[in-house]
Structure 1
Amino acid sequence: MLLRLAPRTPVIAVAVSEHDEAAIIACAEAGVAGYHMRTDSLADLLVLINAAAEGRISCPPEVSALLLRRLSTVTADRNLVGRDPVLTGREIQILRLLEQGRSNQDIAVRLHIAVHTVKNHVHNLLTKLGVRSRSEAAALSRSLRLGDGAQEDWLGD
């Protein structure tokens, strides 16, 4: 709230636990100028206040490492989401059968393949589409209106 009212006012997160990743990330997303950890002294807090008043950002090494790992994860996730999935013809067949609510066993019988092969294709589909479940894959496919005309966009070479 303070950052919205006075965006130039430096804010310091005080008494942060190095084990509370959610709090550290939330503070970074809110734009804090520094972190005073629970194990830091009062003298450390005074140095941090002076640094923030001078416009410097201060971050302990353990917090820096956590934030860099988080940034790396977010960047990787963004790269995966930003790409259009390229599905094989077989994956498209299986995706359409998932939309119909078919089981792995039913899909295997219909396509004359082994159940473990269906499981592999479903796993690949979930990964490529960036979803966690068969129902999410089917819903995404429906929402994109994957039809005969759009099928070529999802096919690999």
Structure 2
Amino acid sequence: MAQTDNFYTLKGYSLLEHTQITSSMEDYLEMICRIHRDGQPVRIKELAECLHVKPSSASKMVGNLRKQGLVCFEKYGTVSLTEEGLELGEYLLFRHEVLRRFFCYINQNSNELEQVEKVEHFIEPKTVYNIEKWLDKFT
């Protein structure tokens, strides 16, 4: 009989990680960084439009990111990144791009956005860096 004592549900693995930031928080932070990179001020309305959510949902999530020390935000103002938020956000953008390149390469497709969005939260940094090394060798 196969050994089964190391298997967990997806939720179980998430609980083992003890992370303070959720997948949804990552999506918001990634988009804040994307808008910030374009040199635009990040406003709740624009963030909500980019993520296809209600402004009230975006405002609540930005509040959660502020509690984690990743952004600065005052009601009716713009969202700015803390040093920690910028560092994590830049990694999230990097991870997204590596996975986009990987899925486009193996699927011979130019747009794999949906697949990247579905899996990016579940891949460890070591794997992302190894995929990047592989891509650099073979593409």
| Fold shared by both chains (TM-score > 0.5) | no
If the TM-score is normalised by the length of the shorter chain, which range does it land in? Answer: 0.3 to 0.5
Which structure: larger Rg? 1
TM-score by length of 1: 0.35
TM-score by length of 2: 0.39
